[in-house]
Amino acid sequence: MLDRRTFLKTAAVASVAAPAIVRGQNLNSKLQLVGIGCEGKGWSDINAMASHDQTAFVGFCDVDLSRTEKVRKLNPDAPVKQDFRELLEDLGDKVDAATVSTPDHMHAFIGLDVMRRGKHIYCQKPLTHNVWEARQMAKQAKKSDVITRLGNQIHSHEFYRTAVHAIQGGSIGKVNRVHSWCAATGHGKSFHISRPKAPEAKPETLAWNLWLGVAPERPYGGWNVYHPWGWRDWQDFGNGALGDFGCHILDPVFTALKIDKAPMDFKADHTGMNDEVWPAQTTVDYTFPGTEFTAGEQLQITWYDGGRLPATRGSHLPAGEGLPRSGSLFIGEKGSLVLPHVGAPKVYPDAKIEKVEGKDHYHGWVDGCLSAEQPSDGFAYGGPLTEAVLLGNIAARYRGTKLTWDPEAMKITNHEDANQWLRRDYRDGWNIEAVS
Ligand SMILES: NC(=O)C1=CN([C@@H]2O[C@H](COP(=O)(O)OP(=O)(O)OC[C@H]3O[C@@H](n4cnc5c(N)ncnc54)[C@H](OP(=O)(O)O)[C@@H]3O)[C@@H](O)[C@H]2O)C=CC1
Ligand SMILES: O=C1CO[C@H](CO)[C@@H](O)[C@@H]1O
């Protein structure tokens, strides 16, 4: 029997030749989706995918049923479950693809299951919570041969595409140095640096055990402490400001300079951390192998967060020129480019840069699923990008020590102890199997 994946591919090919006939005859050639995570960014992802006229949401999952009104309105007939496994099991071959927009600690557990079932996946950034998981996600995507995309919508934005075009077109010459920074602080979002002493009663509608998932047991903390939103700065669930914004802000750096190799080493400095939350301000120095767009055989990229900013010394910016709150500064041999997050890039000394049109990131993934064409930022790209980001946070645990990295062996070669942070112990019943 023809399964839906083969059917969709056939329909996509046919629709190029005879769109009206195919659509008229076969309404079921839409991409049938489930949305996993229905509020916050989840709703934004679902809504964006639903605006593509070749999609239909056939099911939804959210651990808190009180936060599912919007998706119920979107398709009142679609089942809504708290456990994504139940949803995928029940719907079986009716599902072609999934959006995964849960907190970061659950991306790999959910994403790997989705891909093992042969479904295409759009997964929020960072791709995973730890380095080992990012490796598994990239491997499984290849093994299952599914269409993947990292939820880095700015990758397709006019401003980022324009900056990539300008740098690759030589507007600042070969690049010598990159600084990337983000205003967000660590504990700024959770307002806690240690666990609440008297946790509040959990809302009836929330399946706390499912929210915790792979993470160690702890009581529900109260609204926003962990769930929703506040999880970002807690080590068990998120990766602080670097994890939250690194994939966004370093994305144009990776894309423009065609960085496709792992960092060779990384070293962090910060304002202090405990065993629970990430630092309020962090700086990470990375050394990457050079590429065709860099001046030297190595490239230094420095990350700053929590309001820390780079010095503009050595760049082509006039003295006193301010920097945006978040963004990147590319220093080239003949000029510098400032790319705000999110804003129009500017080249120094003043030069016109050719504007490149933006694309719809969400629809691009849907089109990719329908045509079997992998977008440029699938998990083969998002995995290594996420790995680099998360390695910076391992460096934060060993403040001031330069860690050296062997990506093939997936090993920090000069500090045995640091390797423990490449992956985590999973809670009973929530193990993640390595992808063979
Ligand atoms: N690309 C971008 O611009 C942005 C990306 N993000 C990313 O999106 C993801 C979600 O972030 P955010 O929306 O702020 O976080 P939330 O805490 O609001 O979680 C998003 C949704 O996922 C639901 N959820 C949580 N755990 C599960 C689970 N195990 N199964 C199903 N649903 C679950 C939440 O449930 P509940 O209803 O109980 O809260 C909520 O509806 C993160 O990875 C984040 O990094 C976030 C913002 C912007
Ligand atoms: O772009 C974004 C906006 O802010 C959110 C909260 O810090 C981030 O998670 C997100 O990626």
Q: The domain spanning residue 87 has which CATH number?
A: 3.40.50.720
Tell me what the mean pLDDT of segment 28-51 comes to. 96
Between vectors from CA 385 to CA 380 and to CA 387, what angle results, nearest 5°? 100
Query: Which pLDDT tens digit goes with each residue over 386-405?
Result: 999 999 999 999 999 999 99
Q: Band of the pLDDT at 29, cuts 50, 70, 90?
A: confident
Q: Band of the pLDDT at 28, cuts 50, 70, 90?
A: low
Residue 299, domain extent:
158-187+238-357+387-422
pLDDT of residue 18: 36
Query: What is the CA(227)–ligand 1 centre distance, in A?
Result: 9
Which residue's CA is the closest to the ligand 1 atom numbered 48?
A: 41
Tell me what the mean pLDDT of segment 108-135 comes to. 98
Closest ligand, as measured to the CA of 152: 1
Which residue's CA is the closest to the ligand 2 atom numbered 7?
A: 244
Query: What is the CA(41)–ligand 1 centre distance, in A?
Result: 6
Q: Is 355 exposed, middle or buried (0-12, 13-18, 19+ CB in 10 A)?
A: middle
214 found inside a domain: no
List 32's β-bridge partners, or say none. 56
Best of 34, 87, 104, 124 for a ligand 1 pocket test (most atoms within 8 Å of beta carbon): 124
- Does one domain contain both 170 and 128? no
pLDDT of residue 198: 86
Query: What is the CA(233)–ligand 2 centre distance, in A?
Result: 12
Query: What is the CA(156)–ligand 1 centre distance, in A?
Result: 21
Query: Which pLDDT tens digit goes with each residue over 81-114?
Result: 999 999 999 999 999 999 999 999 999 999 999 9
Alpha-carbon span 115 to 144, nearest angstrom: 6
202 found inside a domain: no
Alpha-carbon span 244 to 249, nearest angstrom: 10
Alpha-carbon span 160 to 343, nearest angstrom: 8
Alpha-carbon span 294 to 289, nearest angstrom: 9
Which has the higher per-residue pLDDT, 9 or 430?
430
Tell me what the mean pLDDT of segment 352-364 comes to. 97
pLDDT of residue 192: 83
194 found inside a domain: no
- Does one domain contain both 310 and 249? yes
Closest ligand 2 atom number to CA of residue 184: 7
- Does one domain contain both 343 and 367? no
pLDDT of residue 279: 96
- Does one domain contain both 121 and 247? no
206 found inside a domain: no
Domain count, the chain: 2
List 302's β-bridge partners, or say none. 179, 285
Query: Which pLDDT tens digit goes with each residue over 224-237?
Result: 999 999 999 999 99
Q: How many CB atoms lie within 10 A of CB 253?
A: 25
Alpha-carbon span 69 to 65, nearest angstrom: 8
- Does one domain contain both 122 and 167? no
The mean pLDDT of the chain is 94
Q: Is 369 exposed, middle or buried (0-12, 13-18, 19+ CB in 10 A)?
A: buried
- Does one domain contain both 391 and 247? yes
- Does one domain contain both 39 and 85? yes
Instruction: Write the ipTM.
Output: 0.98
- Does one domain contain both 288 and 403? yes
Closest ligand, as measured to the CA of 98: 1
- The CATH number of the domain where 293 resides is what? 3.30.360
410 found inside a domain: yes
428 found inside a domain: no
- Does one domain contain both 175 and 249? yes
Backbone φ, ψ for residue 91 (5° rounding): -85, -25
- Does one domain contain both 122 and 179? no
205 found inside a domain: no
Tell me the CA distances in angstroms from 63 to 47, 103, 203, one per residue in order.
19, 11, 11
Which residue's CA is the closest to the ligand 2 atom numbered 5?
A: 244
Between vectors from CA 300 to CA 298 and to CA 305, what angle results, nearest 5°? 160
Q: Which residues line ligand 2 (CB under 6 A)?
A: 184, 244, 248
Alpha-carbon span 187 to 233, nearest angstrom: 6
Closest ligand, as measured to the CA of 103: 1
Q: At residue 266, does pLDDT exceed 80?
A: yes
- Does one domain contain both 45 and 169? no
- Does one domain contain both 292 and 369? no
Alpha-carbon span 135 to 150, nearest angstrom: 14
Q: At residue 22, does pLDDT exceed 70?
A: no
pLDDT of residue 10: 66
Q: At residue 255, does pLDDT exceed 50?
A: yes
Q: At residue 19, does pLDDT exceed 60?
A: no
Tell me what the mean pLDDT of segment 325-335 comes to. 98
Q: Is 383 exposed, middle or buried (0-12, 13-18, 19+ CB in 10 A)?
A: buried
* Helix (H), strand (E), coil (C) string for the chain: CCCHHHHHHHHHHHHHHCHHHHHHHCHHHCEEEEEECCCCHHHHHHHHHHCCCCEEEEEEECCEHHHCHHHHHHCCCCCEECCHHHHHHHHHHHCCEEEECCCHHHHHHHHHHHHHCCCEEEEECCCCCCHHHHHHHHHHHHHHCCCEEEECHHHHCHHHHHHHHHHHCCCCCCEEEEEEEECCCCCCCCCCCCCCCCCCCCCCCECHHHHHCCCCCCCCCCCCCCCCCHHHHECCCCCHHHHHHHHHHHHHHHHHCCCCCCCCEEEEEECCCCCCECCCCEEEEEEEECCCCECCCEEEEEEEECCCCCCCCCCCCCCCCCCCCCEEEEEECCCEEEEECCCCCEEECCECCCCCCCCCHHHHHHHHHHHCCCCCCCHHHHHHHHHHHHHHHHHHCCCCCCEEEECCCCEECCCHHHHHHHCCCCCCCCCCCCCC
333 found inside a domain: yes
Specify whether the CB–CB gap between 294 and 308 falls below 8 A: no
pLDDT of residue 414: 98
pLDDT of residue 8: 72
Tell me the CA distances in angstroms from 122 to 83, 108, 137, 257, 401, one per residue in order.
18, 12, 12, 24, 36
